[in-house]
């Protein structure tokens, strides 16, 4: 190395060391440029929401279909939040499965099917599971009615395509 290059390297090194010492140990006369303030949570106001002072409407289940399981047994299948629900007669509602939103958005009119798919004389519920190439072959999970419990089974009984 030449003498000028080594002198320049030493000067740069001394300068960098001096800068790092000045940053590491500020003297007492220097004031910090930024003083962090404590973070506090926003205080709630009197019954107001982020949408204004109007209260939000209550969430009601959307009744998708009403039907008769057989004579004398009314039922309704509906979407509640993200779940497909069914209620037969006066029984408690039964959760069938989660709604698959991409299919529901594109195939809303075909998402739920009603019919006697197992040929036992009782209406069954079909929930769309998949759609084949170019919108053909719509396949459904079939939920059947349990006469002994007087409600629909929460587990699918079988799958069927092209209903």
Q: Domain extents for the chain?
A: 62-161
Structure tokens at 97: 């499965």
Between 65 and 36, whose confidence is greater? 65
Model-wide pTM > 0.75: no
65 pLDDT band, cuts 50/70/90, is: confident
Q: Is 19 helix (H, G, I), strand (E, B) or coil?
A: helix
Instruction: Give the rounded percent of residues in the chain with a pLDDT score beyond 70.
Output: 61
3-state helix, strand and coil shares in percent for the chain, rounded to the nearest 5: 20, 35, 45
pLDDT in tens, 84-107: 999 999 899 999 999 888 888 888
Token pair recorded at residue 17 = 């060391």
Task: Give which of 98, 104, 74, 100 is closest to 85, Cα–Cα.
Answer: 98
Report whether pLDDT(16) > 50. yes
118-160, pLDDT tens digit by residue? 999 999 999 999 998 877 889 999 999 999 999 999 988 998 8
């Amino acid at each position: 190395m030449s003498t000028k290059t080594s002198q320049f390297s030493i000067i740069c090194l001394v300068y960098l060391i001096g800068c790092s010492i000045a940053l590491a140990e500020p003297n007492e006369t220097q004031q910090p440029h930024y003083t962090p303030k404590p973070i506090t949570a926003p205080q709630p106001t009197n019954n107001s929401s982020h949408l204004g002072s109007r209260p939000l409407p209550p969430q009601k289940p959307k009744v998708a279909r009403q039907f008769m399981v057989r004579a004398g047994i009314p039922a309704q299948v509906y979407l509640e939040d993200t779940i497909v629900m069914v209620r037969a007669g006066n029984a408690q509602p039964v959760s069938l499965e989660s709604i698959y939103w991409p299919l529901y958005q594109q195939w809303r009119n075909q998402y739920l099917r009603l019919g006697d798919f197992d040929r036992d004389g009782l209406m069954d519920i079909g929930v769309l599971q998949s759609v084949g190439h170019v919108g053909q072959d719509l396949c459904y999970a079939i939920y059947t009615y349990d006469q002994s419990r007087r409600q629909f089974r929460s587990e699918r009984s079988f799958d069927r395509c092209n209903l």
